[in-house]
Amino acid sequence: MREEDSNWFARWEEELPSPEELMPLSQTLITPDLAIAFDIRNPNHQQRPPSQQAPPPPSAAAQPPSQPTSAEFAADSGDLGSGAAGDEPARTLKRPRLVWTPQLHKRFVDAVAHLGIKNAVPKTIMQLMSVDGLTRENVASHLQKYRLYLKRMQGLSGGGGGGAAGANGGAGGGASADPATDHLFASSPVPPHFLHPGRGNSEHFLPFVPVPALQHHHQQQQIVAAAVGHPHLQSQYHRQMGHFGSSPNGQFEHPFLARQTQQPIHRIGVGGAPPVHNQVPNSYVEDLESANGNGGNGGRKVLTLFPTGDD
DNA sequence: GACCTAATAT
DNA sequence: TATATTAGGT
């Protein structure tokens, strides 16, 4: 169905969050106070291409919440002070595991859809997603699982009706592939052509959408995806090409409002750092071993940056 | 080196 | 359980 395809193509970007909607995701994870308290430096100071002027340092005092300066990384588990990783905390540090929230996954799906299955390889996807801190491995791992999911979906898609857009919350239906396992994948609609790769004229409706062309606006935004050990080690390239288009229709709402955690962070007691009891933006939630599903869970620390709830 | 799949580890 | 990592191959 060409119509459907072009329809999809015409609408794909509508589903993308507009910059404004993206904002909550790109809010800095560390309040200025926190940053100061822990001597965390703004990644804006990273090395950048020679033609770029380093932006002025943020007035550490008061940052209007409406100005999503740049995304930051949250500090990692508590071994900041102890040389668990050795004196050279550098390269061998382990990042906290990434949590694929529905929002993040949606971005992933959008990227894959945008690229077309053909070009959707980890590296490309990663770049397209332009999520700060996201690694190729992260994407590769997720992609692997996602492919398996798609395969299963195809399998039970069967020849019949072909109504692939189930998208239900799991219980009840019974047509789900593996309801127990992939809630995440079910949270984002699977583009139609994902499921029907072969037949007919399937190849790429996206001849070549030069995404970078959208860079006109100097409005750069980053989304923090992962919590990384030592923020200042973050030498990620400064990725951008954040927003793809404008969408009058916001699917993104305010994912965080519901997640009000009055729990201030309680860790990282680095050398008598002042207890920052500031009103932390509810844009991130820290989940320390909140998964208690099974016994025998070692001290697993996970940073949940995006709401894990539905969207 | 990037990629893929499967298996295994955390 | 969800991710990460590794192995072995293209």
String of DSSP letters for chain A: -HHHHHHHHHHGGGGSPPHHHHHHHHS-SS-HHHHHHTTPPPGGGS---TTPPPPPPP-SS---TT----------SSTTSS-TT-S--STTPPPPPP---HHHHHHHHHHHHHHHHHH--HHHHHHHHTEET--HHHHHHHHHHHHHHHHHHHHHH-SS---------STTT---S-TTT-HHHHHSPPPHHHH--STTT-S-S-S---GGGGGGS-----EE----S-GGG--------------SS-S---TTGGG----------GGG-----S---TT-EEEES---SSS-----EEEE-S--S--
pLDDT exceeds 90 at position A145 = yes
Report the pLDDT averaged over residues A179-188: 74
Lowest model confidence (mean pLDDT) among A98-107, A193-202, A219-228: A219-228
Q: Which residues sit close to strand C, CB under 7 Å?
A: A 94-95, 97-100, 137-138, 140-142, 144-145, 180-184, 226, 291, 293
Residue with CA nearest C1' of nucleotide B2? A123
pLDDT in the model for residue A120: 92
pLDDT in the model for residue A153: 82
| Boundaries of every domain in chain A | 7-38, 102-154
For A263-286, the pLDDT digits (tens) are 333 333 333 333 333 333 333 333
Range A102-154 has CATH code 1.10.10.60: yes
Report the pLDDT averaged over residues A288-294: 36
Lowest model confidence (mean pLDDT) among A62-76, A100-114, A296-310: A62-76
Residue with CA nearest C1' of nucleotide C2? A99
Average pLDDT score over chain A: 52
Q: Which of chain C's bases lie under 7 Å from a protein CB?
A: 1-6
Read off the pTM: 0.53
For A81-105, the pLDDT digits (tens) are 344 444 445 555 677 889 999 989 9
pLDDT in the model for residue A112: 92
